[in-house]
Amino acid sequence: MAKPAQRNDVRPARAVRHSFTLTDNETGESWEFPTLHGTMGPKVIDTRKLYSQAGVFTYDPGFASTASCSSAITYIDGDAGVLLHRGYAIDDLAKNTDYMDVCYLLLHGELPSPEEKSEFDININRHTMLHEQLVRFYSGFVRSAHPMAIMVGIVGALSAFYHDSTDITDPMQRMIAAHRLIAKMPTIGAYAYKYSLGQPFPYPNNNLSYSENVLRLMFSAPTDEYEVNPVLARAMNSILILHADHEQNASTSTVRLAGSSAANPFACVAAGIASLWGPAHGGANEAVLNMLHEIGTKDRVAKYIRKAQDPEDNFRLMGFGHRVYKNYDPRAEVLRKTCHEVLEELGIHDPTLDLAMELEEIALNDDYFKEKKLYPNVDFYSGIILRALGFPTNMFTVLFAIGRTVGWIAHWKEMMEAPESRIGRPRQLYVGSKKREFTSVANREHTDRKISWSWLWGGKKTAD
């Protein structure tokens, strides 16, 4: 195998003379902290020496004002609705190229030359199959298992199969692990689906493109020839590209945090899949469809808009709002068009799409959503497209995970190559008890606290 291109992408952030001064109003003491400037975006205050110099921590739960690392992969300007991968606009990439090009770009920093592209395709294709022993893992799951639960398990289990690519200090092994993960994800996801249906597991076909293979693995049966519809393959290509990376989101930060302890990349990506599953993150595409079903008809939209605004009601409009975008999510813009193309190609008139459009229209013109800058995000349309392509709702987040794997692994690789990487270890604001004396159980006072756990196991003597 030819040596993978190694480009040093991460330029160290520039420290400039400009600094921030922190003053303790109680003691009058003050400290200076340098600011760092990236190539674009807000400058950051370098607080690495804050605790050693001033003896205080910063408090930022949810990391709304914290840059956890420097990165050269993806840039987002949430106010302007801009998303760039290695400097290229997301809509340009979605319109003009294929997912393999974007994978190469994210991993290596540049679009591949024709030779690099075909070599990369070969490298990915040679890893698309699963070890037959790993295929046996599926039968350990109940048929009704959520496919994301299966994904977490199977991807984590890859570390048990590939000891030849878990030496994270070896750049070649890191690259092989990256190729394996990108190549095997469609097969792993498709088998989770096939298992739920009780259908045989097809082998990947390396004559097809990545997105064609995703469709074939999911929808082919040995009884019939499967012909890939090019419009649907293009839609799948767009979905994969639009989900490929999104800088330091919850799942990517999870991968980085897991990787910071020097855990192997398969285990780190399994952790990322677990984080993605939540409805506040990747699970939102599934939640959007469930919400649209719950709303049911256009005349009930107003009621749900009111529910979303009621501080006493914890209902939220799924597929709306984003931590970073305070404008239309550029990925939702592309998917809106793709959604119409797919429905037209398949001749589907989907009342769910009409409902989604009505909901979007009302929300975008509503004062609450305008004031809080809540716009549709990527999950709002992806669910409708995936449904039209034939995926059941519980597979939506699996498709997200397949597309995002390259982002996770590109960030993991970048972190492994960065000279400033250290184990991630946040501090806390402790609000618990002060030190107190231990009392043995015989000497403790009786209380009225009544905790009964028997409801948990329904009075049964053995646990399930």
Task: Report the site for ligand ACO in 23-62 (rule: CB under 6 A).
Answer: 62
Catalytic residue among 243, 322, 329, 411: 322
Q: Which of 180, 194, 216, 322 binds ligand ACO (CB under 6 A)?
A: 322
Q: Under the criterion CB under 6 A, does residue 252 sit at the interface with ligand ACO? A: no
Q: Under the criterion CB under 6 A, does residue 308 sit at the interface with ligand ACO? A: yes
Q: Which of 117, 316, 326, 340 binds ligand ACO (CB under 6 A)?
A: 316
State the chain's maximal CA–CA distance in angstroms: 79
Catalytic annotation present for 313: no
Residue in the shown chain whose Cβ atom is closest to ligand ACO: 321
Give the containing element (helix H, strand E) for 33.
Answer: strand 30-37
* Least distance from ligand ACO to the Cβ atom of residue 399, Å: 12
Q: Under the criterion CB under 6 A, does residue 306 sit at the interface with ligand ACO? A: no
Catalytic annotation present for 9: no
Of 405, 347, 460, the residue nearest 154 (C-alpha): 405
* Least distance from ligand ACO to the Cβ atom of residue 152, Å: 17
Instruction: For 319-377, give the DSSP string.
Output: TB--SS-SS--HHHHHHHHHHHHHHHHHT---HHHHHHHHHHHHHHTSHHHHHTT--B-
171, two tokens: 């750049």
- Cβ-in-10-Å burial (0-12, 13-18, 19+) of 450 comes to exposed
257, two tokens: 């945090």
* Least distance from ligand ACO to the Cβ atom of residue 322, Å: 5
- What does the alpha-carbon distance between residue 185 and residue 154 come to, in Å, rounded to a whole number? 10
Q: Which of 104, 193, 320, 391 binds ligand ACO (CB under 6 A)?
A: 320
Q: Under the criterion CB under 6 A, does residue 273 sit at the interface with ligand ACO? A: no
Question: Is-contact 250 275, C-beta < 8 A?
Answer: yes
- Cβ-in-10-Å burial (0-12, 13-18, 19+) of 70 comes to middle
* Least distance from ligand ACO to the Cβ atom of residue 153, Å: 22
- Cβ-in-10-Å burial (0-12, 13-18, 19+) of 444 comes to exposed
- Name the DSSP letter for residue 2: P
From 87-95, 116-124, 373-381, 390-398, give the range in contact with ligand ACO by CB under 6 A: 373-381
From 116-124, 262-270, 279-287, 339-347, give the range in contact with ligand ACO by CB under 6 A: 279-287
Q: Under the criterion CB under 6 A, does residue 317 sit at the interface with ligand ACO? A: yes
* Least distance from ligand ACO to the Cβ atom of residue 324, Å: 8
State whether residue 104 is helix, strand or coil.
Answer: helix
State whether residue 253 is helix, strand or coil.
Answer: helix
235, two tokens: 């839609």
Q: Under the criterion CB under 6 A, does residue 378 sit at the interface with ligand ACO? A: yes
Q: Under the criterion CB under 6 A, does residue 277 sit at the interface with ligand ACO? A: no
* Chain position carrying tokens 């190469």: 104
Q: Under the criterion CB under 6 A, does residue 162 sit at the interface with ligand ACO? A: no
Task: Report the site for ligand ACO in 60-99 (rule: CB under 6 A).
Answer: 62
* Least distance from ligand ACO to the Cβ atom of residue 396, Å: 11
* Least distance from ligand ACO to the Cβ atom of residue 20, Å: 24
Our CB check for ligand ACO shows the closer of 109 and 407 to be 407
Active site residues: 322, 379
Residues that bind ligand ACO (CB under 6 A): 62, 280-282, 284, 308, 316-323, 372, 374, 377-379
